[in-house]
Amino acid sequence: MIPKQMRALALTDDGPRLWTRYPVPVPGPGEALVRVRLSGVCSTDLQLLAGYKGGYRGVLGHEFVGEVAAAAGAAEWLGRRVVGEINIGCGYCDLCRRGLGKHCRQRQTLGIIGRDGAFADYLTLPLANLHPVPSNVPDEQAVFTEPLAAALEILEQVHITPDSRVVQIGDGRLGLLVAQVLATTQCDLTVIGRNPEKLAILHDQGVVNTVLVGRGGGAQDAFDALSARAADVVVDVTGSPAGFVHARRLVRPQGTLVLKSTFAEALPDFDVSSLVVDEITLVGSRCGPFTPALRMLQRRAVAVEPLIHARFSLDDAVEALDYAGRKGVLKVLIAP
C-alpha cells in the first residue's frame, strides 16, 4: 500500500527543513515510484545550500539505491532494487534527439533542477533511467553508483594511457573515487590533497604517488615543484574556485584540463588568454555511465566502504547535512 504522505528533506527559503507530511510523488507515464533504501550526501547538495543552480527549492539528494514500489504497465520492475540516472530530458528537442538528453535545455535533474530528490521515503524517475543492482552489491556500495559513474566519465572523454602523466587536485568524496578510476589506466598518477587520512585511503588502494599540501608557503612550494614537471592531464576535483587556478598551473602546453568541480562561487580574476596561448583543452565533466560503474562495484574494483564516515536516519537528515559539511568528513549516508 503506497501512502499519500512521506518524510522529505527539502531546501526552502529558510534553509533545509524536514517535512513529515510531504506529498508522495506521483509517477508520470513511463515512470516508476521508487522507495528509497539509502541515499548519500554529495558536495553538490552542500553547494545547493549556498545557492548553486540559482536557488533550487525542493527535496535534495541524487545519490540513492531504492526499490521499485509502483510502475504502471511494467510489473517486471516491481520489487527490483535499483539505482537511477539523475537527468531527465524532454525527449523532443534537438539535443535529446542527438542522444544528449542530460544536456537538454528543459531537463530536470533529480534533487538539483525541477524534480524532488532522494532525501525522502520515495522518489520518481523514468524507467529508462533505472538500472537493476546486482545481488552481490549491497546497498552501502550501490549508493556510490552515481558518483562512481561521474568519475568514469573522465575516461569516456579523455584518452589516458600508461604513458600519460596525470595530476589530480582534490581528495574529497568524489576525488577518492576519481583517483581510483584513474589508477585503473596504469597512468603516472599523482594526487594532491590536504588530508593525510584521505590520502592514506588511496595508499591502501595502491595509489602511492600523493602530495600532501597545507596552507601558506608550504603549499606554494609544493605547487611550484609540481609545475616544473607539467602534466599531460590535470583533473580538478577540489570543489573550489582556487582548485581551477592551481590546476591551470600544472598542465603542460597542449595538455588537457578536466573540471569535475561544481561550486556556487564565481572564479576569481583569471587570464583566459593563457588557455589560448598554451592551446589548453578544457573539458567539463559531469554525469557518467552507470553500467560500468555497477560492474566495477560488482568486481570490487574500487573501495567505497572506507569513504563512509557516518549514517543518519532520515528523521535526522538536517543534522546529516550539517555533519557532511564539516571539514574532513567524507560520505554521509541517510537511511529512511
- Our CA dihedral for 28, 26, 14, 111, rounded to 10 degrees, sits at -50
* Backbone angles phi and psi of 196, in degrees to 5: -65, -30
C-beta separation of 314 from 334 below 8 A: yes
What single-letter amino acid sits at 63? E
- Our CA dihedral for 197, 200, 204, 206, rounded to 10 degrees, sits at 150
pLDDT per residue as tens digits for the range 95-142: 999 999 999 999 999 999 999 999 999 999 999 999 999 999 999 999
Q: What percent of the chain has pLDDT over 70?
A: 96
β-bridge partners, 234? 167, 257
- In which band, very low, low, confident or very high, does the pLDDT at 160 lie, cut at 50, 70 and 90? very high
Complete domains list, the chain, with CATH: 5-144+304-335 (3.90.180.10), 148-284 (3.40.50.720)
Angle between helices 217-227 and 241-250 (to 10 degrees): 40
d(CA 190, CA 208): 8
C-beta separation of 257 from 247 below 8 A: yes
How much is the pLDDT for 246? 85
The length of the chain in residues reads 336
**pLDDT of 225 strictly over 80:** no
- Our CA dihedral for 99, 299, 39, 200, rounded to 10 degrees, sits at -110
How much is the pLDDT for 59? 98
pLDDT per residue as tens digits for the range 266-280: 776 777 888 899 999
Question: Whole-prediction pTM value?
Answer: 0.93
- In which band, very low, low, confident or very high, does the pLDDT at 152 lie, cut at 50, 70 and 90? very high
* Backbone angles phi and psi of 79, in degrees to 5: 80, -5
β-bridge partners, 131? 83
How much is the pLDDT for 218? 57
Contacts of 314 (CB under 8 A, 6+ apart): 7, 9, 18, 119, 120, 121, 334, 335, 336
The residue among 174, 121, 173, 137 whose CA lies nearest residue 288 is 174
- In which band, very low, low, confident or very high, does the pLDDT at 287 lie, cut at 50, 70 and 90? very high
Q: Work out the average pLDDT over 317-326.
A: 96
d(CA 30, CA 307): 35
Q: Work out the average pLDDT over 224-248.
A: 85
| Cβ burial, residue 323 (10 Å; 0-12/13-18/19+) | middle
**pLDDT of 292 strictly over 80:** yes
- In which band, very low, low, confident or very high, does the pLDDT at 264 lie, cut at 50, 70 and 90? low
What single-letter amino acid sits at 26? V
